[in-house]
């Protein structure tokens, strides 16, 4: 077993070890359990979030053992980098990795739990959500901040940004961090980064208008690009689904 803790949580290692050892039989299930398992635990009156990553396939069992950092390690390191940049994400606690000889096994990423008010998904589902446009514009400014700090969040999708209202303002927290690049982004890459979020034209109009203000560009040009990349992304998803159906048949 390999484990690495944030210095803030080093005194609580033994308690956290118990959570990992008993993960399958303890804790409270949280969120979607489809790919990975997420559970909540109480650590000294604080709620923490433990994500158990699915055991990788045979190729990745070797790749994560010798060639690549695990999803858990990347999540921890990226969270640290985001916090250094002043970008919201649940505070990292630790990551654990288990190996068996030459094969990589299970891994866990632990963070403080953020009790959010909503995610982007609610904005996409309900166009009448209270303060809908203002939240979208604030979210777009947040995305601009990511881009200005050379953060390319590859999983910039509806469920991966937690939104918390504080007074009249909104705070944003990135989650599911293991797919991320830190690099300067071209205009096209910036606009493509919105493609996973929605297929609703009214939402695209608001986001493109706000992003155009952020970069001092023509809003109609930004809208056309954002809509184009969104449509291309949706078409790729449809092709993948059709291909899977053919393979299954």
Nearest 5°: the CA angle 194, 197, 203 is: 90
Fold of 2-112: Phosphorylase Kinase; domain 1 (3.30.200)
Cα–Cα distance for residue pair 216/81, rounded to 1 Å? 28
Tens digits of per-residue pLDDT, 166-212?
999 999 999 999 999 999 999 999 999 999 999 999 999 999 999 99
Q: What percent of the chain has pLDDT over 90?
A: 82
| pTM metric for this prediction | 0.91
Arch. (CATH architecture) of 118-243:
Orthogonal Bundle (1.10)
As a whole number of angstroms, the distance between CA 107 and CA 52 comes to 6
Other C-beta atoms lying within 10 Å of the C-beta of residue 228: 13
Report the C-alpha gap between 55 and 24 in whole angstroms.
Answer: 14
- Per-residue pLDDT tens over the stretch 183-193: 999 999 999 99
112: helix, coil or strand? strand
pLDDT value of position 249: 62
Contacts of 146 (CB under 8 A, 6+ apart): 87, 152, 153
DSSP 55: P
Domain residue limits, the chain:
2-112, 118-243
Taken in order 136, 119, 111, 171, the sign of the CA dihedral is: positive
State the pLDDT confidence band at 64, using cuts at 50, 70 and 90. Answer: confident
* Mean local confidence (pLDDT), 29-52: 92
Using the predicted structure, report yes or no on whether residue 135 has a pLDDT greater than 90.
yes
């Amino acid at each position: 077993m390999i484990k690495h803790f944030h210095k803030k949580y080093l005194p609580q290692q033994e308690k956290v070890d118990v959570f990992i050892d008993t993960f399958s039989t303890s804790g409270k299930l949280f969120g979607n359990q489809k790919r990975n398992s997420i559970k909540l635990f109480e650590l000294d009156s604080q709620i923490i979030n433990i994500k158990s990553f699915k055991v990788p396939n045979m190729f990745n069992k070797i790749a994560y053992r010798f060639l690549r950092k695990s999803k858990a390690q990347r999540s921890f390191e990226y969270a640290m980098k985001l916090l250094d940049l002043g970008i919201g994400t649940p505070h990292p606690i630790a990551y654990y990795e288990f190996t068996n000889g030459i094969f990589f096994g299970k891994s866990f990423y632990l963070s403080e739990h953020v009790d959010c008010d909503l995610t982007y998904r609610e904005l996409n589902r309900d166009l009448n959500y209270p303060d809908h446009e203002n939240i979208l514009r604030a979210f777009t400014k947040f995305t601009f901040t990511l881009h200005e700090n050379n953060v390319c969040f590859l999983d910039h999708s509806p469920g991966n940004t937690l939104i918390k209202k504080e007074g009249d303002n909104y705070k944003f927290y990135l989650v599911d961090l293991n797919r991320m690049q830190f690099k300067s982004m071209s205009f096209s890459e910036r606009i493509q980064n919105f493609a996973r979020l929605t297929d609703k034209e009214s939402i695209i109009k608001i986001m493109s208008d706000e992003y155009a203000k952020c970069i001092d560009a023509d809003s109609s040009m930004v809208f056309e690009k954002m809509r184009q990349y969104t449509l291309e992304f949706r078409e790729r998803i449809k092709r993948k689904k059709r291909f899977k159906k053919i393979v299954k048949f």
